[in-house]
Chains A and B, each alone.
Chain A
């Protein structure tokens, strides 16, 4: 049984359907990356899983239990097992609380007051390689990298089974980004966590994710192991994303596949293949609507796939 099973998840805000049916699974201990441009709906997916965004249709099961549309009361015990990390490292920390209060907040919320919170704070700070005296600081006194590690510490406090991380490296300097990814890789191996990471930074995905899904206009267009997708992307959109990744080498002018324009409005979804108008490889057949097809664990929504 998969740890997390998202099936045909749909979300609309009025006439705007942000998620038009998203399905994927995450196994225990696995890291799954959701990749896409802004507006692709990736943030909505993880917020809907955590019950922070509405999802009108579809299902989300965690360890076999349906959690879509569950009430706050029903979700509370599950909050121990699913932790979230948000985009803004400093902004996701309550500004008037000390780091000690912030990282022990999960214990207080879950009513585990009998624990020695000072000791827990110390243990968690140590786990994310921050000095113990940071417990007395406030969020605004931290750098982005330090605040991010506080976020990791808080997410790990209750030893969750799944972490949902929204752009975990956003706003971090390159020299610090590696530290965070190493930390997350290390903790994942030690604690056997599963993770869903959403990002538009493909360089990050390559080093942390086991499998990845590419989202476009609230749908998955390709899914597979990270290795397979980096080596042999089948969907033109994936290919474009991969080639739009400037390399730190002035001589590596890779054959870039120019992506035309910007994602269309969700209010006017294109007919047929929704990527057709921007696709450099579009063909006659693409005026028809492509279906999601899976072969050898590799999912694809394209009528004219690349080989």
Chain B
């Protein structure tokens, strides 16, 4: 598999807290190939943010890597010296954050900030500025030359998020991590951002790890999807497989819950009753058991392994095991 760019291999991460170890990520495995868009779906508390900070190694001081590797181009990032890691961030791996209002330095002009992030390049200042203008144009900011002189507060939220994307793509990264980049935006702008990302991904041929809780956006944008629940991967596979033939009850019910799915006015909308289990005090067996409508006795005692069902389609549920059904 030479075209694999990022491999998360059995990654487990804990947070040490006063209440005991919080098992934020457990046995996470998935990979991102070159030039593909992988979506990570999950609700609050599923471990999305821990996953991102683990990949970038920007974790809180009480983080403990218990096991596993994060291989980027074959190299385990968790073992890399900090200096090399710093060279990687913003160059080979870039990130776009959720809140466009807080990602830019308010006292520097956009042009200055876009020139500053090219500090690794040996080009002249004028060349860097020209490149900055070109990137702004590429993300659809009209009149880019003039707008370089403006400050972040002079741009709307949607524009700022596009500038953030332009800045993330400046270094032509191999991997772009987008952490809920459209959540803070209106639906109309959300669509504009998604379409722009699709175009840019073609142009730059970078892989995108797109994190979102918005199923519609994931369905529209991604090639493959990883579904996370309470710190574990419950299902992963091709976007069509996941949305048309989900093999984990959580995925299936999550899709059912999306009101975008229900065309006629419904008196009662589907929900998933119950709460995400306490990560500091995990129950035995399957983590979704308490909220699952198809739970079996076996689910209470044995953790279902993430197994391959079809080519590339993985799920962690006993329902997919023949012997369990009997």
Contact = CB atoms under 8 A, between A and B. Distances in A.
Direct contact of A and B (CB under 8 A): yes
Interface stretch (A66-74, A100-108, A241-249): A241-249
A interface bracket (residues with beta carbon within 8 Å of B): 35 or more
Interface stretch (B87-95, B107-115, B185-193, B307-315): B185-193
B262 A247 contact: no
Contact of A174 (B219, B254, B273): B254
Interface centre among B190, B194, B260, B261 (most CB of A within 10 A): B260
A190 to B, nearest CB: 13
Contacts of A179: 271, 273
B44 interface: yes
B102 interface: no
Contacts of B192: 258-259
B261 A248 contact: yes
Interface in B117-169: 142, 156-159
B186 A37 contact: yes
A92 interface: no
Contact of B191 (A173, A244, A249): A244
Interface stretch (A157-165, A200-208, A297-305): A200-208
Contact of A244 (B190, B262, B266, B273): B190
B298 interface: no
Nearest to A243: B191
Interface string B234-268: 00000110011000000001110111111001111
Interface stretch (B54-62, B78-86, B210-218): B210-218
Contact of B213 (A37, A173, A249): A173
Interface of B: 43-44, 142, 156-159, 186-192, 194-195, 213-220, 239-240, 243-244, 253-255, 257-262, 265-273, 275
B121 to A, nearest CB: 31
A241 B260 contact: no
Nearest to B225: A250
Interface in A166-221: 173-179, 181-182, 185, 200-204, 206-207
Contact of A203 (B189, B260, B271, B272): B260
B279 to A, nearest CB: 13
26 contacts: A38-B186, A173-B44, A174-B215, A174-B254, A174-B257, A177-B269, A181-B269, A182-B269, A185-B268, A203-B258, A203-B259, A227-B265, A240-B188, A241-B188, A246-B190, A246-B191, A246-B214, A246-B219, A246-B260, A247-B216, A249-B219, A249-B243, A250-B243, A251-B240, A251-B244, A259-B191
Nearest to A38: B186
A188 to B, nearest CB: 11
B265 to A, nearest CB: 6
A240 B191 CA distance: 11
A176 B44 CA distance: 11
Nearest to B182: A246
Contacts of B195: 258
Nearest to B250: A175
B259 A177 contact: yes
Contacts of B268: 182, 185
A226 B189 CA distance: 23
Given A250-B220, A262-B189, A178 B158 contact: no
A259 B259 contact: no
Given A174-B257, A248-B219, 13 more contacts: A38-B157, A38-B186, A143-B275, A174-B258, A178-B257, A207-B262, A241-B188, A248-B258, A248-B261, A258-B195, A259-B192, A262-B158, A262-B189
A182 B266 CA distance: 9
Given A174-B257, A178-B257, A245 B273 contact: no
Contacts of A258: 192, 195
B43 A175 contact: yes
Contacts of B254: 174-175
A248 B157 contact: no
A97 B255 CA distance: 37
A140 to B, nearest CB: 14
Contacts of A247: 216, 219-220, 260-261
Contact of B270 (A178, A185, A246, A253): A178
A295 to B, nearest CB: 24
Tell me which of B188, B257, B261 has the highest count of chain A C-beta atoms within 10 A of its own C-beta.
B188
Contacts of B244: 249-251
A287 to B, nearest CB: 21
Given A181-B269, A250-B220, A204 B188 contact: no
Contact of B44 (A144, A202, A250, A259): A144
A240 B267 CA distance: 26
A241 B191 CA distance: 10
B313 to A, nearest CB: 14
Interface in A29-70: 37-38
Ranked 4 nearest A-B pairs via Cβ:
A246-B216, A178-B269, A248-B215, A173-B43
Contacts of B267: 185
B208 to A, nearest CB: 16
Given A143-B275, A178-B257, A246 B186 contact: no
Most buried by A among B262, B266, B275: B266
Contacts of A261: 142
A123 B272 CA distance: 24
